[in-house]
């Protein structure tokens, strides 16, 4: 019998809210977050209105808050975020669903548009895997740009197929909460939209 695999979106599916602004709040503080958002409001409105891509909008935010930060410092602070702040943002029902899959011997993977740095440490503590957006690093510093493509929409499916030989699995489960998760849900045997 072929093993099963389950793919979970992160922001809004496993968590109660988007973690991009929460990681900024955790690393930079409330004052810096709100000042930065006020400054970046025109770009965020353009992204919401689809005048610029989600990737471009995300890069504008990442550059503003993290450009030039040493990658080791960034990773250390992301690990602290996963340890100290993230547990309070996790949906209890989603965590229970993950545990049920693990108990059944299923492989479980988080597939997220968030950067791997602030999701993977939490995933590893849960005993699950993580595919996330990869940040560009030059000279051991965060540039604020995304390396390759933001892990959203069809890119989620592309990255899954790149890392997992899906025909070797039996049932494929997928969980998501936005249009950016729908290609992943359509790929699955059992796709769950806003289950939690």
Structure tokens at 129: 């895997």
In the 8-state DSSP scheme, what is residue 70? B
Which DSSP letter does residue 67 get? T
pLDDT of residue 1: 84
User: Order of strands across the sheet with 190-193?
Assistant: 129-133, 107-115, 5-8, 172-176, 190-193
Closest CA to 98 of 187, 35, 15: 15
Going by pLDDT thresholds of 50, 70 and 90, the confidence category of residue 65 is: very high
In this structure, CATH architecture of domain 5-193 = 3-Layer(aba) Sandwich (3.40)
Is residue 142 within 8 Å of 97, Cβ to Cβ?
A: no
Q: Where are the domains of the chain?
A: 5-193
- Pick the residue with more confidence: 5 or 50? 5
Which pLDDT score is estimated for 12?
Answer: 96
pLDDT at residue 67 tops 90: yes
For range 97-126, the mean pLDDT: 97
**pLDDT tens digits for range 19-58:** 999 999 999 999 999 999 999 999 999 998 989 999 999 9
């Amino acid at each position: 019998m072929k093993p099963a695999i389950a793919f979970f979106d992160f922001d809004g599916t496993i968590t109660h809210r988007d973690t991009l602004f929460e990681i900024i709040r955790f690393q930079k503080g409330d004052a810096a977050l709100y000042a930065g958002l006020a400054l970046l409001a025109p770009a965020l409105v353009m992204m919401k209105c689809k005048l610029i891509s989600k990737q471009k909008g995300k890069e504008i935010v990442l550059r503003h808050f993290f450009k030039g930060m040493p990658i080791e410092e960034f990773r250390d602070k992301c690990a602290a975020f996963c340890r100290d702040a993230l547990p309070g943002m996790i949906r209890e029902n989603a965590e229970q669903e993950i545990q049920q899959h693990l108990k059944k011997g299923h492989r479980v993977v988080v597939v997220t548009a968030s950067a791997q740095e602030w999701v993977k440490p939490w995933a590893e503590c849960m005993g699950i895997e993580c595919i996330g957006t990869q940040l560009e690093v030059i000279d051991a510093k965060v540039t604020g740009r995304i390396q390759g493509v933001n892990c959203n929409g069809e890119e989620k499916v592309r990255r899954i197929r790149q890392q997992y030989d899906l025909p070797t699995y039996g049932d494929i489960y997928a969980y998501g909460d936005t249009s950016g998760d729908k290609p992943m849900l359509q790929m699955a045997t059992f796709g769950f939209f806003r289950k939690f």
